[in-house]
Every structure is written in C-alpha cells, then in structure tokens.
Amino acid sequence: MIPSESHGELSGLLADRSLPELRRLADQFTREADYPRALEVLNEVERRLPDHPAVLLDLVRFRHRAGDVPGVSEGVSRLWQVLDGQAADLDLLGEELQEMGSHDLAMATFRMLRKSTVPQVRAVGLSREAALLLRLGDREPAELAADEAFRLCPGIPETRSARALLWEESEPEKALGLLESLAVHADGVPAPFTVSCGHRLGGVYDRLGRVDEAMQALAHAKSIEETRSPGIRELRQQRRAWMDWHLQLAGFDQAQARAWLEESAPTAAHAFLLGHPRSGTTLLEQMLDANPAIRSIEETDHFANIVAKGLIRMHGSQAGSVPFPDFVRTLDAEAVAGLRDSYLEALVRDAGPGREAGLWIDKNPGLTPVVPLIARLLPRSKLIVALRDPRDVCLSAYFQSTRRNAWSVNWLTLQETVEQYVFAMGIWLDVRDRLAQPWIEVRYEDFIHQPLAEGRRITDLLGVDWHPAQADPSLHARSRFVKSPTHADVVRPIHGRAIGRWQRYRKHFAPHEEALAPFLKAFGYDS
C-alpha cells in the first residue's frame, strides 16, 4: 500500500516501482475512487510506455472519471494518431467512449472509419453511428446512416443489425427476418453479438404478441451465452455463498438500528435509490436529478469496493474467530465513520469538479440486498425503494441482455430470475420496519399515473424544494448520457405501455405463483 502523501510526494515514490506494481497501485486507487492519484500513477506508466494504446486508453478513462474534459479530448486525439488506419481498434475505442458517455468523441471515432477504402469498414462505422444516433434520439440522421451502411454492404451482420434496430419498434414485422438470421450463431461472429440479437428478437416477438416464440428466442440466446461464456459457471457456483453473506447481515433489531443512528455523526445530505432492477429506478432518477439541488450518481461500485470490501478486509485482519455479522454490528464509531466518509467522498469525486449539490443520491438497485449494511454504516441516509408488479419486474429482467455479474447471472432462466427477486426483495421486506432512517416506497404504476404527485412526495421526504424541471424527466434524460439499459425508454415522455405486460405470459408464471404471492400481497399487487 502507498501511504497518503501529497501528489508531489507520490511522484517521488513511483520511479522505482515496476510496471506490474504501478498497475496494481492504479487499480487500488481506482477501487478507492481516488482518480487523481490513479491518474498520477498512469502518467508514470505512460512516461515509460509512450504511445502504447492500452495505456493511453486507461489515461482517457481516468481523466474522464476525474472530470478532466480537456484531458480526455487530448488523450483521444493521441489515440486517433496511434490507431490511424487500424479499423478494429478504432471501433473498440468508439464503443469504449460511448460507454463513458463521451458521445461526441465516440461519434467522431466512428466517423474516422469512413476514411477506409474498404467498404465493409465504412459500413461498420456507419452502422455504429446509426445505433448511437438512435440512442441519443436523433432518428432522422440515424436512418440516413443505416441506409448508407446497408447500401454499401447489405450482407454483413452490423448493417443488418442497424437496419433492424430502426424497425424494431415502429415496424417490427420488417425487423423480424433480419433478427431471426442474426440470432443464429455463425462462425466469425462474436457470441455476444448473436446473444444480443437473440434478446432483441425476443423483444420483437413480444411486440407482435407472439409470446411463446419470444420465450423460445430468449431461451436460445441464453443457451448460446451459457455455452460460450465460461465466467457464468463460476458466478453460479458462487451464488449460494453470495446470498448467504447478505442474509446473515439482516439479523439486527430495531433497538440496534436506533443506536447506530444516535451514534452516527451528521454527514452531507445523502440518499440511496434502490429496488429490484427493472422497477423504474432510472425514471425516478431522471426526475430527481433534474432538480439543481440534487445530484444523482448512477450505479457505481463505490459502496461495494469501499464499504463492503473494506469491512471484509478489516474482519480478516482484526476479528479472529468473531463471525462477520457480529463484527459488523459491534464496529466502533471511528471505524464506521472512516468507511462512511471514504464512500461519500468517492461518490462526490465521481461527479467531477464543479458539480455541487445540496443532496447526493446513489442510484443503484444492486445495493438493495445490502440495506442491513446501509443501516449500520449510513443510518442517516434516506432510502427510496422503487416497486413494480413483481411479475412485470421478473419478465423485464429476463428479457434483458446485459453483462453478467453476481446479480444478472440469475436472469438466465425465468425460475432463477424469480428466485433472485424473492431473495433481494425478501431482505427489504424483512428489515424495512426495523430501520431507524426514513424510507419511502414508490410504486411504478402510481408514478406513471401521477408523476407529479409521486415526484413531490419523494422530493419532500428528501427535504428538497420541488423544481419545475422535475416535471419532464424525459427532457432531462436527453441532456445526459444514461448508463442504464433503459436509456431508450427514459428519453421518451412517460407512458404506461409496460404495465401488466406479464399477463400475456401468465402460463409461464404459473409455476412461480406461490413464490411471488407474499410480495404481491405486501406491495399491493394481489387484487
């Protein structure tokens, strides 16, 4: 571990470090969300390996996280020079910039592919442009780019995928034939591309009311994913231990929760936006973040890396044979304050310089099972919990194509999806009435029908004045890059088309009625 010297002192300690040691230091500072110090380490790596594409890309990532906009542009310009003529690497750079939310630079990167003399390369670039433009809500230029790509190379997967993307909602019958062929695994086509097309095919069948074919398409896509993604087996093997770890922490009582609140020093105003994924958390976030007094940070790993892993490290070095839940419950106030403050500082740093707020929100539905840890470490943080009909939640999650982690690996079968819902929301039901901090539940269906009333109710709980900009969350969403897979939905005016979608899949939910019944009753969906 590097001690916490100033940046100047840190530079003096780096010269004698090996490259592997420097990489480990950069990773350490990243986990701590200390991006300026991670950037300083990477600057030393870059000094030794100038113009190395991987190093330059890491520098771009960290400058982005540190809020260094000019530095990001400078780094991308250098990468353009280094990668000039290397179509595959430019394509990957564009995808990376898109995920970072630097869509102007991503678009410029994809447009560099137009310089190629190879028609397929130009067609891929145009296809990427079309997909990004559509994601940003610019449909007319997206159509022009997709049409030009298709004219150049109508037979390659990327151009067919881009054309299908334009048709999936407006003309699903047209998209159907393209996606049916793209969802079949072919040599030379990356499996994740085929899996994504299979999920999209399921969505098109769903729009057309062809329920059984939608489920068959999803099952086929997920079978390809399972056989070609070795990490899935390991994640599944870890699932039981992962669940047990969370369940063991839920054994506190109301008196303990009150004591934790009383011993906790006041902090910056802060809240968590929780709930099972696909419950409307992104829509709620856009309404809240539209308020200038509120700053929402979207789905970071700061709580997991700083608080949860920090506790695990402390337990390993200090606790001896004391069980982990007991160790957590009896932590001294100084240790609690240290972890809490490090987490809150990381959250603020993630927003970048100049992003002040009266209240900070950590929007992360993946943290719902760690409410017991939140009660212990951040008992003054308010909780907003998004609810939605459990059957609609599970169906939407099952339809989702996403990178697999300890949470989303449970969306490979409908049964596992239901089991994960029961696990996560079961923890919430178990502990909510023992919490000392304020919390509020917001049903998606109520929010859709009365967005202003529900929005004001949440804003009041947070102690913030309502702002007129909150009235149109779709307008706010169009002004920023939304990481969530629901980005295409939140940039549109509020609608209720997804309410009750599960009813068309009633027979597929029949085996899961008993498991979901307690949640339907508890959340008011049993009528």
Beta strands in 211-285, from DSSP E residues, in sequence order? 270-274
CATH code for the domain of 6: 1.25.40
State which residues of the chain have pLDDT below 50. Answer: 1-8, 481, 484, 487, 490
* Domain-embedded: residue 295: yes
* Domain-embedded: residue 503: yes
Whose structure tokens read 């004391």? 322
Q: Are 102 and 72 in contact (CB under 8 A)?
A: yes
Q: What are phi and psi of 384, to 5 degrees?
A: -110, 120
* Domain-embedded: residue 324: yes
What dihedral do alpha carbons 475, 398, 132, 367 form, nearest 10°?
60
Whose structure tokens read 């070609």? 228
The DSSP code for 202 is: H
Q: Are 397 and 277 in contact (CB under 8 A)?
A: yes
Q: Which of 22, 53, 82 is the last residue of a domain?
A: 82
Predicted pLDDT at 88: 92
* Domain-embedded: residue 380: yes
- How many domains are there within the chain? 2
Predicted pLDDT at 58: 86
Chain segment 268-326, per-residue pLDDT in tens? 899 999 999 999 998 899 899 999 999 988 888 889 988 998 898 888 887 678 899 99
In angstroms, how far is CA 209 from the centroid of its own chain? Answer: 29
* Domain-embedded: residue 216: no
* Distance between CA atoms of residues 132 and 104, nearest Å: 10
* Domain-embedded: residue 432: yes
Element containing residue 294 per DSSP (H, E): strand 294-298
- Assign residue 500 a region (left: φ > 0; alpha: ψ between -120 and 50; beta: otherwise): left
* Distance between CA atoms of residues 87 and 115, nearest Å: 10
Exposure b/e, 46-82, CB count within 10 A at least 16 = b:
beeeeeebebbbbbbbbbbbbbbeebbbebbebbeeb
Predicted pLDDT at 495: 59
* Domain-embedded: residue 87: no
Question: By C-alpha distance, which of 23, 482, 410, 428 is closest to 239?
Answer: 410
Q: Which domain holds residue 76?
A: 1-82
Predicted pLDDT at 300: 84
CA angle 454, 496, 404 (to 5 degrees): 95
Q: Which of 29, 49, 82 is the last residue of a domain?
A: 82
CATH code for the domain of 271: 3.40.50.300
3-state secondary structure of 301: coil
What dihedral do alpha carbons 119, 116, 60, 15 form, nearest 10°?
130
Element containing residue 230 per DSSP (H, E): none
Q: Which of 53, 82, 111 is the last residue of a domain?
A: 82
* Domain-embedded: residue 282: yes
